[in-house]
Amino acid sequence: MADIGFVGLGIMGHAMAQNLIKEGFDTVVWNRTASKADDLVALGGRAVASPGDVAREADIVMLCVSDTADVEAVVFGPNGVSSGISPGSLIIDHSTISPGATKDLALRVNELDAFWLDAPISGGSEGAVNGTLSIMIGGDVSQIDRSTPYLEAVGSTITHVGPQGAGQLVKAVNQILVVVNQLAVSEALLLAQAGGLDLEATLSAVAGGAAGSWMLSNRGPQMIERDWSPGFTIDLQQKDLRLVLAAANDLGVPIPGTALVYQMYRALQNQGLGEEGNHALVKALEMMSGVEVGSHD
């Protein structure tokens, strides 16, 4: 048996699996596009042929795939994780998916005498590479103990927030904070550009005060450089906001700022920009204003 299994080796999952391997855990991995496992195998990981095989090799399986339907596919689809789990196995889902659907998926796994923790993550691609993710966990608190060594290999803030599904709802809260802040950073840089300010000096002046944020410090410099490479794509952020708006709708809560950003991301997708980093939100404001932020080299 392996120590830990990992399904989904995208921007986040690949870096998380890499940290597990670097910590010395015997790690089995699977990815739909098999080549993304090659360098992890070179590092000492073991690639297997299906998510079911991951579960046959490891009692604890971490997942990090795109959307709700993708989690369902890798867990309950052909040769999915559920085909290989044993009584007592644990699935830890690090994907950002629907809180409501999470409760259903978790109950289906519980019916197989296995456990589910929804454990979405925050901290960007940098947090995944550095092993400093924030992990918000919903589910049976007793399952966290057995997973702590693996969670600590990928994250530095690990918080149990409630029962199955609560982790995903906290992630929705997280995404409201992220995108409304992203809009603020975008508007701020646009105004600075329009006013002819030195953008680097402006960032230095404000980042350490009450206006400082992770988004400003990490994505602000990238925006000034017009580097739109994704830590997190517009397509995935738009997906997250769809989930956030659905959750707010279910609960009858208006979230107008988030709804606005959702529509701006939709406009950027329609311009063919869905695979750019979500900090390219500023491009929607640029289209409205005719002002372009940053250097043009």
Q: Is residue 66 at the binding interface for ligand NAP, with CB under 6 A as the rule?
A: yes
Residue number, 10 or 45, with CB nearest to ligand NAP = 10
Q: Is residue 135 at the binding interface for ligand NAP, with CB under 6 A as the rule?
A: no
Residue number, 29 or 199, with CB nearest to ligand NAP = 29
Question: 272: number of CA atoms within 13 Å, CB side?
Answer: 0
Q: Determine the Cα–Cα distance for residues 243 and 121; give it in Å rounded to an integer.
A: 15
Give the residue at shortest CB distance from ligand NAP: 10
Q: Which of 36, 103, 171, 283 is catalytic?
A: 171
From the CA atom positions of the chain, what is the Rg in Å? 20
Residue number, 54 or 109, with CB nearest to ligand NAP = 54
Task: Locate all alpha helices (DSSP H) within 23-165, ordered by sequence.
Answer: 38-43, 51-57, 68-76, 99-110, 124-130, 142-154
Nearest distance from residue 275's CB to ligand NAP, in Å? Answer: 9
Ranges within 195-254 binding ligand NAP (CB under 6 A): 231-232, 236, 240
What are the backbone angles phi and psi of residue 193, rounded to the nearest 5°?
A: -65, -45
Q: Determine the Cα–Cα distance for residues 69 and 71; give it in Å rounded to an integer.
A: 6
- The first and second tokens of residue 125, run together, are 């691609």
- The first and second tokens of residue 297, run together, are 């080299």
Q: From residue 103 to residue 132, what is the string marking binding to ligand NAP with x (rule CB under 6 A)? A: ------------------xx-xx-------
Largest pairwise CA distance in the chain: 64
Binding site for ligand NAP (CB under 6 A): 8-13, 31-33, 36, 64-66, 70, 73-74, 95-96, 121-122, 124-125, 231-232, 236, 240
The residues assigned a catalytic role are 171
